[in-house]
Amino acid sequence: MNKNIAVIRGDGIGPEIVNEALKVLDKVAELYGHTFNYVDVDMGGVAIDKWGDPLPQEMLERCVNSDSVLLGAVGGNKWNDVPGYMRPEKGLLRLRAGMGVYSNNRPAKIWPQLASASPLKESIVQKGIDFIIVRELIGGIYFGEHKTETVDGQSVATDILTYNEEEIERIGRIGFETALKRGKKLCSVEKSNVLDSSRLWKKVMHRLQEEYPEVELSDMLVDNCAMQIVKNPAQFDVIVTENMFGDILSDEASMITGSIGMIPSSSLGNSSCGLYEPIHGSAPDIAGKDIANPIGTILSAAMMLKYSFDMAEEADAIEKAVSVALDQGFRTADIMQEGDNLTLVGCSEMGKAIRNNIKR
Ligand code: NAD
Do 252 and 123 reside in the same domain of the chain? yes
Do 266 and 182 reside in the same domain of the chain? no
Tens-place pLDDT, residues 82-106: 888 889 988 998 999 899 999 999 9
Residue 280 Cβ contacting ligand 1 at under 6 Å: yes
* pLDDT for the residue 98: 94
Rg (CA), the chain: 21
Residue 281 Cβ contacting ligand 1 at under 6 Å: yes
**In this structure, is the dihedral angle defined by the CA atoms of residues 15, 18, 24 and 30, taken in order, positive or negative?**
negative
* pLDDT for the residue 93: 87
Tens-place pLDDT, residues 251-275: 899 889 888 899 999 999 999 999 9
Residue 261 Cβ contacting ligand 1 at under 6 Å: yes
Do 214 and 261 reside in the same domain of the chain? no
Do 192 and 303 reside in the same domain of the chain? no
Do 251 and 261 reside in the same domain of the chain? no
Strand-pairing partners, residue 185, are: 216
* pLDDT for the residue 101: 96
Q: Residue 36 is part of which domain span?
A: 1-111+257-360
* pLDDT for the residue 31: 98
* pLDDT for the residue 340: 73
Do 31 and 156 reside in the same domain of the chain? no
Task: Show the beta-strand stretches assigned E in 236-357.
Answer: 238-241, 264-269, 275-278, 330-331, 343-344
Q: Looking at the 3D structure of the chain, how many domains does it have? A: 2
Q: Whose CA is nearest to atom 30 of ligand 1?
A: 281
Q: Looking at 239, 256, 273, which one is the last position of a domain?
A: 256
Regions of the chain short of the pLDDT cut 50: none
To test the ligand 1 pocket, which listed residue (260, 293, 322) has its Cβ within 8 A of the most ligand atoms?
A: 260
Give helix 14-32 / helix 347-356 axis angle, nearest 10°: 10
* pLDDT for the residue 201: 98
